[in-house]
Amino acid sequence: MKEDCSQCGIHFEREEGYWVGALIINTTVTFGTFLVIFVSGILITWPDVPWTTVGVVTIVANGLIPVAFYPISKSLWVALEMGWHPLEPREVEAARRRSNLRLET
Ligand SMILES: [Zn+2]
């Protein structure tokens, strides 16, 4: 991932530990999807639940979903976080300097 936006120059990681929010979103989506797959797999096939198949499908999903959702979780986090914590004047100025530098080169 680029450190700064190539268009406006804002720096994505606004403070140390910034991406913990994206990690929480990714973990929540992964666990929610696991629950939906697991519970619906049981409900659809009840009473003869194919435990091996349900187990394999949920394990594969738990391996793939966090990787596939990783970039989306970061975009979501940036959008959410900027909604309740808009850019501060020093960040706007730094972004302006970065984008001006980019335009000059
Ligand atoms: Zn931008």
Q: Give the model confidence (pLDDT) of 58-101 as tens digits.
A: 999 999 999 999 999 999 999 999 999 999 999 999 999 999 88
Give me ligand 1 centre to Cα 7, in Å.
5
Q: Of 102, 100, 64, 73, nearest to 12 (Cα)?
A: 73
How much is the average pLDDT of 10-38? 97
Other C-beta atoms lying within 10 Å of the C-beta of residue 92? 14
In the numeric block, which tokens belong to residue 59? 């394990």
Please give the Cα distance from 23 to 19 (Å, whole number).
6
Domain ranges of the chain: 20-87
Tell me the CA–centroid distance for residue 68 and ligand 1, in Å. Answer: 23
Higher pLDDT, 29 or 104: 29
| Cα 72 to middle of ligand 1, angstroms | 16
Residue 105 has pLDDT above 70, yes or no: no
Report the distance separating Cα 38 and Cα 54, nearest Å: 7
12 Cα to the center of ligand 1, angstroms:
9
Confidence band of 1 (pLDDT split at 50, 70, 90): confident
